[in-house]
Structure 1
């Protein structure tokens, strides 16, 4: 049986501050919450990635902004991996923890599409994981050139080289799905 894990990247309080919230933040939280419920019912590991910055930055370790959003808080026994780069695998324990559990297939969701989600997706592929990027459950902010939706759409197309890209409606997290 193929072992799977749901990997939630950087869904932290800072990303939802009023006036600076990530694109479609509420929809993102509700969709991730629904996938977490599916994963827990199917006894599929839920892995949280938490970005850390130094003193004075929005994701400063130990601050409110750094905390994982309360809508999707980890339950006891779920894996939380700390990172300091866009790559959830680089200089972290993620690969070791996944391999210890025999995980072969990752379902990726989270923030920020063009940075941490993109980098983690490519890195997972390079490490031999089967990857599914959940196309409607990663998000970002607009740039001066592109809307957030344009950035998301572009990455959903570009990352097809590294992952199966499926909407949350197409995902059924069950031990054998």
Structure 2
């Protein structure tokens, strides 16, 4: 069993829009990334391209990964155009070639790209872990960002799609 940390869509424009618990979210991601680096666990980034005219358009300032993450030069960044980190990105083939069977998934937005990627990873047969507090999103007319995160962690993903675990447990998983 080989594990990788998958960091999805933590891009400057999305962070600038002040998602729920932004500061704690970024601290949690940094802890996960640091733990993965310390253990030699691969960190893989996924970045959304919203297309021409979008704040997440390829090459635009908002498209860049958040400055606080600073991927290492050897770390892979997969570009995507859809909610799924897997659709037309080559990610599944890459993971398969590397023998990666377990994914710790974190990033943005909880109810869009994270949700789709968790479900797709499950469909591809990966063992999926979502660290509690390591995804975020924004309020909508029905729920606050906090409540959306809680709802997805507890009602949508947790068993059988993924194991939603405390941050410390996810850090230990990355260190194995």
TM-score by length of 1: 0.94
Separation (CA, whole Å) in 1 of partners of 2:174 and 2:23: 25
Q: 2:85 aligns with which of 88, 111, 114?
A: 88
Partner of 1:115: 112
Give the aligned length: 173
SS of equivalent to 2:134: strand
Bigger shift: residues 166-175 or 73-82: 166-175
Tell whether 2:164 aligns with 1:170.
no
Tell whether 2:157 aligns with 1:159.
yes
CA contact under 8 A between 1:4 and 1:175: conserved in structure 2?
no
Q: Which runs of 4+ in 1 moved over 6 A?
A: none
TM-score by length of 2: 0.95
- What's the CA shift string for 1:72-130, capped at 9, x where partnerless? 11101111000000010011111111111110000000000000000000000000000
Structure 2 stretches of 5 or more lacking a match? none
CA contact under 8 A between 1:3 and 1:175: conserved in structure 2?
no
**Two-structure CA RMSD over aligned residues (Å):** 1.0
Separation (CA, whole Å) in 2 of partners of 1:74 and 1:59: 18
Q: 2:122 aligns with which of 116, 122, 125?
A: 125
CA contact under 8 A between 1:108 and 1:133: conserved in structure 2?
yes
